[in-house]
Amino acid sequence: MGKHTVLKNILQDARSESKHWVADRHHNHDIWLHWTVNERCNLNCIYCDSHGNPLKKRGRNPEIDIPALIRNLEGSGKTYKIRFTGGGEPFLVPGIIEACIEITKKHYVGFNTNLTCGNIREFARKIDPERVVNVNASLHIEELERLNLIERVIDNFLFCKERGISIVASVVAYPALLHNVEKYKSLFERKGIKINFSYFMGIYDNKEYPRSYTEEEIVRFDLNRDWLNKHYSYRGLCNAGYNAAMVDHDGNIFPCEGRRKTIGNIYRGFKFNESLMACPVNHCTCPLKQFDPYLFKRALRENSSIVKKMVPMIKCAKSYVKAEFAKRRFRL
């Protein structure tokens, strides 16, 4: 594989990453922070890592230090997109609305949320929709049915949409849901809500997913084949730590799940890397490159000379990973 072919593939990766139903309404940010802001959740989904764990209801739920947060964001001179997510439900965090009010005076927010909390409407009323890049409503349907929360979620979704917030609905493509796919699609489509299926990562029926999806499951869940293949492929150059990063419950900032060395703290100060890195793991499920192709392509432009120098390293890494997959008989 020649240098020009490798560069072409990198650019093709940047284009293909953008083909997803969670899309920003505009691109006016310099840096993306993917903030796992808490551990507490009000649901108990069967496919969650913490299913059945009583600590889930009492997990860490720290309040955001708003003055320190804003001081450090402003001190960097950059415009941020902060996406609130969590091992739990971010709308359970004390002061989350107040934090968003302050953040969105100059920056942008987004959410992964189960859309069940009582302060969703307050958020939709008080936050300028132009400052909300998107909301991904994770509809955990069987759990919502068990708790009789389907109508509440539908009402909250439509309220956010009426307020002008860019919002989409996603459902985990848990294999056990296959026999009810059409039922659930119809249920939400009657209310004007299109649901999208995202692949399940975990063990079901002694099989590892997403590797074990059958052809029928891929078709009926309408899963993205390119993404399924990429889940087990080397991800090459990455902008993690350069203009995108992950933040934990304590505010510590690190490039990605594969590289845990911190680059600072959201409350005490931070400094991003000055160039791109090569992905440090054999296969990557990190959302940074995947869900913000705008910043990835921007990073490639800003590091064009470095990209060319790193081509030999990328070629070697791809060859190694391919050999490892062959040795372990991974099905791609």
pLDDT, tens digit, 9 for 90 and up, residues 247-289: 999 999 999 887 778 999 999 999 999 988 877 776 676 767 7
Task: Show the domain range for 90.
Answer: 3-328
Judge whether residue 155 has pLDDT over 60.
yes
Q: Percentage of the chain with pLDDT > 90?
A: 59
Q: Which of 56-70, 115-129, 295-309 has the lowest mean pLDDT?
A: 295-309
- The overall average pLDDT reported for the chain is 85
What is the reported pLDDT for 320? 44
The DSSP H or E segment spanning 106 is none
- What are the DSSP calls for 37-72, one per residue? -----S---TTSTTTT-GGGGGS--PPP-HHHHHHH
In the block, tokens 């064009």 appear at 304
Decide: 213 and 294 in contact? Cβ < 8 Å.
no
More confident residue, 167 or 4: 167
| pTM (2 d.p.) | 0.87
Sign of the C-alpha dihedral, residues 17, 21, 26, 32?
negative
Give the list of residues 6+ apart from residue 295 with CB closer than 8 angstroms, or none: 29, 31, 32, 239, 243, 244
Identity of the amino acid at 122: E
Which pair of structure tokens corresponds to residue 208? 């590892």
What is the reported pLDDT for 50? 75
Structural domain count, the chain: 1
The DSSP H or E segment spanning 331 is none
Identity of the amino acid at 240: A
The total of other beta-carbon atoms located within 10 Å of residue 265's CB is 16
What is the reported pLDDT for 13? 54
Contacts by residues 281-284 (CB-CB < 8 Å, ≥ 24 positions apart): 282/234, 282/321, 282/324, 283/231, 283/232, 283/233, 283/234, 283/235, 283/321, 284/234, 284/235, 284/238, 284/256, 284/258
What is the reported pLDDT for 235? 64
- Could you tell me which of 185, 192, 184, 187 has the C-alpha nearest to residue 160? 192
Identity of the amino acid at 7: L
Angstrom distance (rounded) from CA 22 to CA 135: 8
Judge whether residue 20 has pLDDT over 70.
no
* CATH number (domain holding residue 16): 3.20.20
Q: Which of 73-77, 122-126, 183-187, 283-287 has the lowest mean pLDDT?
A: 283-287
